Structure 1
Amino acid sequence: MPDQPQQPSYSNDEIDLVELLRSLFQQKYLILAVACLITLGAAAFAFLATPHYQVQSVLRPVDRGSLDELNGTGVYELTPAEALSRVGAGLSSYENRLKFFRDNQPLFTGLVEPGRSLEQVFEEFNRSAFTMLQVDPKRPNSLSEFVGISLTYPKGVDGVAVVNGLVTAVQETERERIATDLKVLIANRLFALEQKIEAARASYEASKQAQIAKLLEQDALRRAQLQDELQALRGELKTRRGNRIQRIDEAMQIAESLGIRKPTTPSAMADVQQQGQVVRTEVNSREIPLYFMGVDALKAERQALSERSSDDFSEPRIAEIEKELALLSRNRQVEVLERRKNEDLYLKDLAEWRQEAAQLKGIKFDTSTLQLVRVDQLALEPLSAVKPKKALVIGLGGFAGLMLGVFVALLRNLLRPRMGKAP
């Protein structure tokens, strides 16, 4: 039989998919063993790991009527949105959370670890357990404002009591702060009113003293002016009297030279002279010359003028001046001002300030009944743990085990020495 030509054999390094599948099928028990082992490990973790639960509480703004009594005091103004914001800030406050943690140790017994301080335990718990719930800032036009807090906690921690207790504690803290703020505001307002009243009293006293000083100064000035006028009038009257005496002296000389002893008139003298000798006298003035009064009358008048001690009676104005000086000796308005006893009655706006102070002192607002927020959702006992998710963990464990088994089988197949085929 003739020899058939031999076909050359080629070394094929390409992966044969059928051979690969055949190899994996041959190692199916290995793959299943690895998958079962990993799945059992995942199941053990899912059932033995400490379960964590999650609870949350949601708060919403109260009605305006709930804050009406507080706002009605006229001292403190708080809107529902501001009250909600204050409570939300209190819930997110590390200080408030730490205080609640310290005051409620029995609720956190599952967290206590030897060798770690309470602050260290709480720091780790606070960082991973609490989550604030609030309106999405990207949606400012949300239909309703709210704020909330979510807690993820391990078994051994009473999460429901923690969340509800923290919400209650924060509200109580905010009520106490509002009560303190209200007291401070009332005290400050009362102090300001007292300062206003004291300032008004000081201003009134200064204005009264200034008014009295002005009145007394006006009286002193008027008295000085009247005294000057009185002195000038008396000097004028004295000068008039001296002038009168000099005129009388001249008239007496003329009367003696004419022989006039008794009062007469020019016409009477003319009649007498016509009986004897004719004396012609021409009078150019309407007033009868003084010497016609005669020496006797002139001498009597001169003596009376010389003996006069005061000329005041001869001038009516002097009596008026003395009357006015007598009135100025006592200023009745100054006496009335100095006799005022209850000067507060004359303070402007004092009644209004006292009324406001009485209203402030009458404020007896009890903040313990103040409702700052409306609890829209209380924290309730969870029905199941949020982690670990057993089905998911077991499913992922089975899938990972199967992948690992295939990888081990492939690795084993690659490490197996290849047998060359005979020609």
Structure 2
Amino acid sequence: MSSSFRAPPIPSSDEIDLVALFQVIWKQKKLVLAATASAGLIAAIYAFLTPPQYEVSSVLRPAAINELDALNRSEIYTLPPGDALVRVGASLESYDTRLGFFRSNQKLFKAFEQPGRTLEQSFEEFNRNSIELILPDPKKANSLSAYIKLEMSYPKGVDGVAILNGFVDYAIATEREQIAADLDVIVKNRLNELKGKIDAARSNYEVDKEARIASLRETDSLRRAQLQDELKALRAQLKTGRIDRVAQLNEAIGIAKSLGIRKPSTPSALGESERNGSSSVMRTEINNQQIPLYFMGVEALEAERTVLMQRKSDDFTEGRIAQIAKELQLLQSNREIEVLNRRENEDLFLAGVQPVRAEEARLRNLSIDMSRLKLVTIDKQALEPLRPVKPQKALIILLGLILGGFVGAFIAVIRHLVKTRQSQPQSAALSMLSNSPTMVGSDTGLNKP
């Protein structure tokens, strides 16, 4: 028994006939066009119904050096242009600054308010989705200078230009106020420090002054006591000398009485008088020996003794006593102490405070117009956009048409494959039925005798 049935060749799954595929798609071009048109229509509806989104941006760069010269020349607050830009950038990024601007300009944010939401919740949505701070990439050296870029996207009906420019101005003003507050605190602290130095110098001066006055008074007291002791000793010495002189005179008077010397005489004259009895001759005797005191005669000696015994003070006999009295008189008042106590403006005599006073005067007269302080340069202000950035209608429609075409082609291929698989079993069955009589006939012929 033999058979003429041949199975159709099965094409390899790894090979794709592009021409056949194109023919399949072309045969169902109406389906592909319908899918493309439907997708394009859906994309067009989405593009035209989606609310437009606009975008504005502002660029900040470091200010010129001369803009911050007044602040830096104060020598108490140094702020290079780069640091000023960083501070403004930090203020722009600060949640507190953004919330403060949001609260201060609620009329500009009416579009972001929704029923059932608090002010902070509305701001949170705006802060999260609308404003973006862009810094230069430190790994790239394309930018010639540092900058800060602020971008804002907003829907139609919102004045994004006013919001962004107002926010930049608000952040700069806030940072300027913060710098002014910092400067004011630094100046006050510096003035307090200088005042403390002056108070310390004044306290030291008072201590030195009191110590000087005490030292002068102590010196005067010591000198006064020394002079009084010396005066007392001199007076005692003079009194003792007077008493001794009276005793000498008493002895001399006794001797003179025993010798009968009434008038002043000399040893030679006394000898001649004894030999001659009496004489009217006057003699002058010159020798280098001290004549005993009793030769002064009883009358002279008694007269001297009477005077000495009647004397009440011996001060006039010693010149040193008058000198001591003079010094004691001078010590009754110390003119240096009086001058020190009569000083009216004692701050003029403080030592080492001239630089401190000069610095204090400079700080008190320090005048920096913070309203004119330019922290950054606004290189680009936000301008009214010419067209929305979203949605891009042409691109969306084009992508919709392309996607619809692919979907239509895919559906066409799937339909062709389904139809092909359904027709293959029927073709095989018909082929087997058409070949079965031949097979029977051949069998019958073989069985004939």
TM-score of the superposed pair, with normalisation by structure 1: 0.83
CA gap of 1:140–1:12, structure 2 versus 1, over 3 A, is closer
Distance in 2 (alpha carbons) for counterparts of 1:376 and 1:77: 24
Distance in 2 (alpha carbons) for counterparts of 1:139 and 1:410: 50
Deviation at 1:142? 4.8
Matched residue type, 1:9: A
1:201-228 per-position Cα deviation (integer Å, ceiling 9, x unaligned): 4443443333222222221111011111
The aligned residue for residue 4 of structure 2 is 6
Please, which moves more after superposition, 286-295 or 189-198? 189-198
Matched residue type, 1:17: I
1:362-418 per-position Cα deviation (integer Å, ceiling 9, x unaligned): 555543343333221111111222223333333333333333334444555565654
The aligned residue for residue 129 of structure 2 is 128
CA gap of 1:30–1:109, structure 2 versus 1, over 3 A, is same
Please, which moves more after superposition, 161-170 or 354-363? 354-363
CA gap of 1:140–1:286, structure 2 versus 1, over 3 A, is farther
The aligned residue for residue 265 of structure 1 is 266
The aligned residue for residue 440 of structure 2 is none
Distance in 2 (alpha carbons) for counterparts of 1:286 and 1:142: 123
Matches within 5 A, 1:214-363: 214-273=215-274, 275=276, 286-348=289-351, 360-362=363-365
Among 369, 386, 389, the alignment partner of 2:392 is 389
TM-score of the superposed pair, with normalisation by structure 2: 0.78
The aligned residue for residue 146 of structure 1 is 147
CA gap of 1:5–1:415, structure 2 versus 1, over 3 A, is closer
Deviation at 1:41? 2.3
Matches within 5 A, 1:358-377: 360-362=363-365, 365-377=368-380
Matched residue type, 2:320: R
Specify the SS of the correspondent of 1:17: coil
Structure 2 residue runs of 5 or longer lacking an equivalent are 278-286, 433-449
The aligned residue for residue 208 of structure 1 is 209
Matched residue type, 2:61: R
The aligned residue for residue 115 of structure 1 is 116
Deviation at 1:141? 9.1
CA gap of 1:414–1:122, structure 2 versus 1, over 3 A, is farther
1:144-188 per-position Cα deviation (integer Å, ceiling 9, x unaligned): 232231112222322111111111222232333344344444544
Q: Say whether the 8 Å CA contact 1:109–1:156 is kept in structure 2.
A: no
Matched residue type, 1:233: L
The aligned residue for residue 17 of structure 1 is 16
Distance in 1 (alpha carbons) for counterparts of 2:303 and 2:336: 51
Q: Which runs of 4+ in 1 moved over 6 A?
A: 349-355
RMSD (CA atoms):
3.5
Distance in 2 (alpha carbons) for counterparts of 1:301 and 1:142: 122
CA gap of 1:292–1:415, structure 2 versus 1, over 3 A, is farther
Specify the SS of the correspondent of 2:116: coil
The aligned residue for residue 80 of structure 1 is 81
CA gap of 1:400–1:61, structure 2 versus 1, over 3 A, is same
- Work out which of the two has the higher radius of gyration on C-alpha atoms and give 1 or 2: 2
Specify the SS of the correspondent of 2:297: helix
Matched residue type, 1:160: V
CA gap of 1:37–1:318, structure 2 versus 1, over 3 A, is same
Q: Number of aligned pairs?
A: 414
CA gap of 1:334–1:38, structure 2 versus 1, over 3 A, is same
Distance in 1 (alpha carbons) for counterparts of 2:224 and 2:103: 86
Matches within 5 A, 1:395-414: 395-412=398-415
The aligned residue for residue 55 of structure 1 is 56
Please, which moves more after superposition, 20-29 or 380-389? 20-29
Matched residue type, 2:328: L
Give the fraction of aligned pairs with identical amino acids, expressed as a percent.
Answer: 50
Distance in 2 (alpha carbons) for counterparts of 1:375 and 1:70: 20
Distance in 2 (alpha carbons) for counterparts of 1:20 and 1:366: 80
Distance in 1 (alpha carbons) for counterparts of 2:289 and 2:416: 172
